[in-house]
Structure 1
């Protein structure tokens, strides 16, 4: 597909990298010439310096033949203007990043009137992910499929866990929960396991199950699945506002520590049910005074990755809180992942997943098996995809054991008439099924791609 990306900041560069890796023709546009040159050279894509909201620059970028225009500059208004001009100039589909909470109630109106295919709010998406984790604190990461009916949870196996030393066959016999351990991260290795695979201490397992069965499984293996009662958030930015807005209605007490007095006043007005503390969280005495030792969850949301990492490590050392850490700079992935920072949230990754999912769905809109959901799992080393089977094909009716499925691919779940099923070799696929696939092979466009 021909795709134009306006804005080469953290989100724009991540989207460009993901879509370029998917094999699309990318043109990036930004007002900063040095940024454009560096990114275009690194990804071997076309770059253009200029204002992406002007007709002249968009025409030069090839908007008349563009399948998709993505505007992700720092300005919501500029993004909306860019999409409006791009749509008028011939772009087939347009996507705008809109972050300001003041616009949240008007998104439906904007999409309709400006012809937007989609709006993206990285901060809101990140806060939704965090809220989900705080509702299920045993998990490192949680993704949902089938309109919330199915969950994919990552969970770290500690030394005294009852699963240590057990094969997956043993787990199935002894635990008796309708779940599937579909992927395992062991050190640098990602494994799609079979029944003889033996779980070890330190493994990070990915579990597919319905919401009810997931809770039953974690209870049986001795993990608390009770949502947190309170949370301490360090950093009072947009994500903190969105997160507090999602947690307070659930009855979770929210305390936000922010060093800007002006921002504290704004948050006090916007979040009257939250406790807003004016203080510098880099001073551990402030955190101790505000009760970090007794809080049930701790979320570090400052604008500096290093500060977030150290805050999370400190919280882990003085409390038993569920830890959530926001990370922005992907360049530090390999180092940061060696620390135990609890659940790490990458707003850029979440946004890129949304975009890639939309693009794959767009490509398959005339096909029989559309991508309904896409998640990068295990730090981007594998993918979890949901396909919807619109029509009968060579795959429907045949048992799974009779299908020549590629190595490194696991058919993890079937949703049929609202019922969640963990499949076995005798299971079959049918028209109108939703199918969840776990794979180390990236870039799958269609369900048939899982076959040899």
Structure 2
């Protein structure tokens, strides 16, 4: 497949690097330095030019392209690039936007703007934050099979009851499977004798209730649903969307916004949120508003430095958890290493969503894990699958070793796989696999 990526920033570069392994990728950017950097770093054709220009698109081979992904930091540029591509050929177009209003317009009109699929960065980021808030200690989480199954990634604390145990010893939760272990840069398939060490990240798949129980055991002081005191710092679009989504779930968060006009606007649009006009770096204000009693503090300002400062202040004052928006992906590990419980990078989330869409094929759903070092795939079993009509034990020899079935759904039922579990046509299987074998797994299933 020939893919044209408009924009060589963090999102575009990530998408191009991922797709270049199995597709012919062309990247277009107005910045010559970025073009040169890509030319020498990944196996793509990089072109300097304006992605909205028909001449540039023709130079990129738009007439032979199957897919165009517009991923610059400018919404209008991305939409115009998709429209121009549609005028030149039969190409499937994906646009990245930040403004939810544009997504609303697109949703109301079939193929509006010449865009076949639209991804809204701010909404995706807000959804990721709300999901993390609902799962104690979770660094990442995604639903599968219409919400019947949950995948989550947890850090194992030193004082955790499972730290130092093997997977077999820790496997005492109904409807839960330990599937993967992330230790440094390594991704391991979880086996019975695999040790769970403090500081490791473990990936589990199971029913939402079992995943929540596991998270509660890792962090007993933060039981699911106990986040009654939620403070959002920053009335950015992400901050607003987080508050709106939390209101829909029955929460009554507090939101701190320094700008008078923005604070007033948010107060009118968020009936169940207490909006406070103040500088959130004012320690006296934070103490007066009892930030130390907050179960979660979400920093959603527009600058990484401010989000880091707010998160560390909140933790120092006594807040249980700190979640921060991080615009630069290179800072994510830094934030989490100095005490931020979860760092959410909008660009990384957007790149994952677009890559997930381009990868799907037979997969109903895909989640990318640990900077795309592993994947969780949901696939419906048909007659050609190596699993169809066989037990799991009989069929696992036909799958790569670096893969494990984490859950099976049959209708509304979540089945935790065992060796004698019989797989039927129409079942949905949720599989954890290292990225280097994910395509082989999808082909076998």
1:195 aligns with 2:187: no
Compared CA separation, residues 205 and 422, structure 1 to 2 (3 A): same
From 382, 394, 399, give the equivalent of 2:391: 399
1:372 aligns with 2:364: yes
1:182-220 deviations in whole A, cap 9, x for unaligned? Answer: 112334443222112333333322221111332344456
1:61-87 deviations in whole A, cap 9, x for unaligned? Answer: 111111111112333233222212211
Task: Give the Cα separation in 1 of the matches to 2:82 and 2:146.
Answer: 29
SS at match of 2:238: helix
1:162-194 deviations in whole A, cap 9, x for unaligned? Answer: 22343332333xx35221111123344432221
Who is 2:338 aligned against?
Answer: 339
1:211 aligns with 2:203: no
TM-score (norm 1): 0.89
Task: Give the Cα separation in 1 of the matches to 2:219 and 2:33.
Answer: 53
SS at match of 1:136: coil
SS at match of 2:356: helix
SS at match of 1:288: helix
Displacement of 1:60 in angstroms is: 1.6
1:249 aligns with 2:248: yes
Contact 2:299/2:323 (8 A) holds in 1: yes
Task: Give the Cα separation in 1 of the matches to 2:251 and 2:122.
Answer: 20
Query: Map of 1:50-449 to 2, 5 A cutoff?
Result: 50-172=49-171, 175-218=172-215, 223=220, 224-361=223-360, 364=361, 370-403=362-395, 404=397, 405-442=399-436, 444-445=438-439, 447=441, 449=443
Task: Give the Cα separation in 2 of the matches to 1:380 and 1:447.
Answer: 16
Compared CA separation, residues 220 and 36, structure 1 to 2 (3 A): closer
Who is 2:10 aligned against?
Answer: 10
Task: Give the Cα separation in 2 of the matches to 1:380 and 1:198.
Answer: 23
SS at match of 1:442: helix
Contact 1:387/1:436 (8 A) holds in 2: yes
TM-score (norm 2): 0.90
Compared CA separation, residues 24 and 205, structure 1 to 2 (3 A): same
Task: Give the Cα separation in 2 of the matches to 1:144 and 1:52.
Answer: 35
Structure 1 gap ranges (5+): 365-369
- Cα RMSD over matched residues? 2.5
Displacement of 1:316 in angstroms is: 1.9
Displacement of 1:280 in angstroms is: 2.9
Task: Give the Cα separation in 2 of the matches to 1:75 and 1:110.
Answer: 21
Compared CA separation, residues 176 and 119, structure 1 to 2 (3 A): closer
